[in-house]
Amino acid sequence: MLRVEGIRKSFDRFNALSGADLHVGSGKIVAVIGPNGAGKSTMFKIITGHLKPEGGRVLFGGEPISSLSPHEICRKGIGMAFQIVNIFSRMSVFENVQAAVLSRTRQAGNIFRAASKMAVGETMEILASVGLREKAGSIAGKLSYGDQKVLEIAIALSTSPRLLILDEPTAGMSSEEAAVCTGLIRRLTAEQGLTVLFCEHNIELVLSLSDEIMVLQGGKTIIQDCPEAVCKSPAVRDAYLGGAA
């Protein structure tokens, strides 16, 4: 479904990515791990078109997409929830998702219908799919941190993606909230056939959730394989423990 080949990106003269490779098969859950500053968020922003690479290419369904705008890439079927929570905190949970659905379906400019009545069914369906149905009327900014991150996922789902990219979905969550979020990711792949690409510092969670893990270090891919093989890899031990293991 997705193939990233030899991506390079620098900021000023600092090489954030200098040869990142990744492949994500349809229906899989793939994790990217790597130390702080390894280039994980930069790679995700390149895949979604928010940053342009200086070399290499990104193929989605076999088609090169790196020259497309974020909006066009979104329409092709890639949705993303960012590392930093990015919701309208004064609007209700319902309105946050509804606004995203309306912007996708381009109904926002329809002056003949009250905005509040539009896309109600679809919005409620998305909220139900992430377990936020009961909190539809709550003010988004008043939700727990865990629920705000889940709302962010709901907003990403409102564009009907085939590939959902999550940048540290459980960062800052309590262990209970992280378990709920993990369950949600599993359900979305099992029940809705979504493909998920995520990065995360919680290694136990990564090992329990992923079909495959890609390890990024200093802007380069050092391995992509099943969790067992990645755990056994001497290169990964070197990257994480400086050869001490």
Ligand X SMILES: Nc1ncnc2c1ncn2[C@@H]1O[C@H](COP(=O)(O)OP(=O)(O)OP(=O)(O)O)[C@@H](O)[C@H]1O
CB of 37 to Mg ion, least distance (A): 8
Contact mark string toward ligand X, 49..88, x via CB under 6 A: ----------------------------------x-----
The answer for 37, left when phi > 0, alpha when psi is -120 to 50, beta otherwise, is: left
Identified binder of ligand X from the candidate list 29, 31, 33, 38, rule CB under 6 A:
38
Say if CB 170 and CB 182 are below 8 A apart.
yes
120-130 and 175-192 are packed helices; what angle lies between their axes, rounded to 10 degrees?
120
In whole angstroms, give the CA distance from residue 197 to residue 109. Answer: 33
Is residue 139 within 8 Å of residue 92, measured between CB atoms? yes
- Selection from ligand X, Mg ion, none that 193 binds (CB < 5 to 8 A by kind) is none
Residues 36-65: x/- map of binding to Mg ion (CB under 5 A)? ----xx------------------------
Does 11 participate in binding ligand X (rule CB under 6 A)? yes
Nearest distance, CB of residue 185 and ligand X, angstroms: 19
Task: Give the separation between CA 192 and CA 199, rounded to whole angstroms.
Answer: 21
Whichever of 44 and 94 has its CB closer to Mg ion, that residue is: 44
- C-alpha radius of gyration, the chain, whole number: 18
Beta-strand (E) ranges in the chain?
Answer: 2-11, 14-24, 29-33, 55-60, 63-64, 78-81, 163-167, 195-199, 212-217, 220-225
Nearest distance in Å: CB 210, ligand X:
17
Of the listed pieces 32-40, 57-65, 97-105, 122-130, which binds Mg ion according to CB under 5 A? 32-40
- Interaction site with Mg ion (CB under 5 A): 40-41, 83
- Interaction site with ligand X (CB under 6 A): 11, 16, 34, 36-42, 83
